[in-house]
Structure 1
């Protein structure tokens, strides 16, 4: 499926991105759901898939986490099934991510899909990331409020909701409509009828995540073993006092590590190219040889990138799922094609098929389960 998004990107970024919510009527015209409710329910039965059921019955909220073995006990109203990273497990659903890649792969997180019966929802809440909510099957009523301070509470240990708010958007969404919500804007949605919703979420790491990951990287790579030194130490009347110049030197030691591009760029590439959700990695058995890979491509076979695989370019270094691509001599044009495209054909690679180093790298990636032929 080739989804064409009806949006003026320059205008959207200038006026709405991380600024204001926006309802895009018929963002996708003649919208067709990429997944059925039955297939979504089947995914939620798998151990590797992150899923949950959220229900509101008899004035009480409840959350149950998958995998699920049956749905027979569910009521006819008041519940939603939410499945994370559906694009990792269901190939047709990856097509819904493609129109949003204008905003950069490193910021896109995953595609969450929810199936809701009438009155199903998760209550009023606030997210700290950008999200495009695409209406599929059925209709859903959405309310979005201003970005103001609101009291939060937990009606269930796994649910964080906010107090009632005045709406600046109060609309019913129909198939193909898209609701964009920036971080910090309260919102709530309830199904009017049985419906499917698709949420394209954007990754927004916190400073705590970044510092924690950077510290782990330094330890794992035995970096940053600089000792504090003070050859011109100042004496002081109060031995309990730490002088401002000493604090500045401590900050300088830490900032020095962040300021070294070869350390910072490599760390960020390994960090940001890792998926936050499981990948359906299945290395081929037996492994492919370089000759077999070339032959299959030349015979017209398509090489597919693993669903949800993060392939990123950081300062002319290439990273795949937390690993840097290393080759004696990188074929930059071919590597860019490999990282950018979801499907690879022989004519896209051109002379790179004769590049021994490149084809050895491609074969290794296939044998690692990151790219595959659809046998």
Structure 2
């Protein structure tokens, strides 16, 4: 992607300009970000997804002053009629289940893959919404069908109403108001409060981004470092030939604390250990994702990553679906191209080594990628 090229998606800004002026800083309203936009998933297909076990979905209703929340799977017969006001169905990760939705999400890859999370679709009846709230991550709100009125503001008071199943602001203070129609889009940085109300039945697409907190990221990385440490051969065993008899056996010896501290420091000091653990953690498939193995591929003509596959790289590695590979030279450039563009064409594969072709074939057999074959 040419990040200097102005995009209608960003209101005529280039990705470079958008990231510099708006990302994490201030909202952006774009009228007709995608002119003539039509939903990639219809209402019936969305409700079918909401009824599946492997798809994360929620039902929210505001009824007689009360907020109701129900988690999926959501059978169609359990939903109110379309004429019943103030209810919403939200389906998470639709990009994992639909090719057209996945392709739509690719338009936002001017943000690093490590930050891009998923595309959620909400269907709301007239008056439907989820209440005034704020997110801890950046979000693009793309109107797909019908109209939705958005009120937004830089909220200082982040206190929430107590006793509700939803995180709804206790005192919402809107500063701006917009009505979005199909193709319109609103970008909001983290912690910008917003409240979207459907004006008639509507569908809204939310392109969300991952914002891992430090504790959660440390947990994921340290788990992988610990697994690597377990596999380490000739790992030292704690010894205490100088341990004296103690009157208080419940006290943990300071020497054992030092040994544990040294073990963690040793794991972190291993060459590329942290980088490897981070890349594996960032590309780990979500719990509800699985792949369907395919038959062994013949001579590859082209390769396309499966829409559920997550692939990234750093200076030394290629990461795919929670696994890491050391990579260098022309093969590394080829794999990085695959991560960036999510496909390799015949001209690309003509430059691949036998080892790279064998690896790509194994990914195709695992269902991580799909092959175009010759012969």
TM-score, normalised by the number of residues in structure 1: 0.83
| Equivalent position of 1:194 in the other structure | 201
Change (3 A) 1:11 1:313: same
Q: For residue 166 of structure 1, report the CA deviation from its aligned partner.
A: 2.0
Alignment deviations for residues 73-102 of structure 1 (CA, whole Å, 9 cap, x no partner): 404211111111100000110122112101
SS in 2 for 1:334: helix
| Equivalent position of 1:366 in the other structure | 364
| Equivalent position of 1:113 in the other structure | 121
Aligned with 2:280 (options 270, 284, 288): 270
Unpaired segments ≥5 residues, structure 1: 230-246
Q: For residue 137 of structure 1, report the CA deviation from its aligned partner.
A: 0.6
Alignment deviations for residues 221-255 of structure 1 (CA, whole Å, 9 cap, x no partner): 226978999xxxxxxxxxxxxxxxxx999989856
Change (3 A) 1:40 1:309: same
| Equivalent position of 2:351 in the other structure | 351
Change (3 A) 1:351 1:68: same
Aligned mates of 1:73, 1:348 — CA distance in 2: 49
**What aligned pairs does 1:83-102 form with structure 2 within 5 A after superposition?**
83-102=91-110
Higher RCO (CA < 8 A, seq sep 6+): 1
Unpaired segments ≥5 residues, structure 2: 1-6, 240-256
1:20 aligns with 2:58: no
Aligned mates of 2:188, 2:91 — CA distance in 1: 19
Aligned mates of 1:215, 1:316 — CA distance in 2: 20
Is residue 291–residue 367 contact of structure 2 (8 Å, CA) maintained in 1? yes
| Equivalent position of 1:38 in the other structure | 44
Alignment deviations for residues 36-66 of structure 1 (CA, whole Å, 9 cap, x no partner): 1111111112111111111111111111111
Q: For residue 19 of structure 1, report the CA deviation from its aligned partner.
A: 1.4
Change (3 A) 1:262 1:170: same
Aligned mates of 1:4, 1:39 — CA distance in 2: 28
Aligned mates of 2:70, 2:45 — CA distance in 1: 19
Aligned mates of 1:252, 1:25 — CA distance in 2: 57
Aligned mates of 2:303, 2:48 — CA distance in 1: 27
1:321 aligns with 2:325: no
| Equivalent position of 1:68 in the other structure | 74
Aligned mates of 2:364, 2:186 — CA distance in 1: 37
Is residue 106–residue 312 contact of structure 1 (8 Å, CA) maintained in 2? yes
| Equivalent position of 2:15 in the other structure | 9
Is residue 306–residue 367 contact of structure 2 (8 Å, CA) maintained in 1? yes
**What aligned pairs does 1:231-250 form with structure 2 within 5 A after superposition?**
none
| Equivalent position of 1:341 in the other structure | 341
SS in 1 for 2:276: helix
Change (3 A) 1:277 1:250: closer
Superposition CA RMSD, Å: 3.3
SS in 2 for 1:189: strand
SS in 2 for 1:74: coil
Alignment deviations for residues 271-306 of structure 1 (CA, whole Å, 9 cap, x no partner): 11113352251112xx214xx142xx2xxxx64311
Aligned mates of 2:15, 2:328 — CA distance in 1: 39
SS in 2 for 1:97: helix
Is residue 270–residue 323 contact of structure 1 (8 Å, CA) maintained in 2? yes
Number of matched pairs? 352
Is residue 317–residue 327 contact of structure 2 (8 Å, CA) maintained in 1? no
Change (3 A) 1:357 1:4: farther
Change (3 A) 1:261 1:132: farther
Q: For residue 373 of structure 1, report the CA deviation from its aligned partner.
A: 4.5
| Equivalent position of 2:245 in the other structure | none
1:311 aligns with 2:311: yes
SS in 2 for 1:180: strand
| Deviates most, 306-315 or 194-203 | 306-315
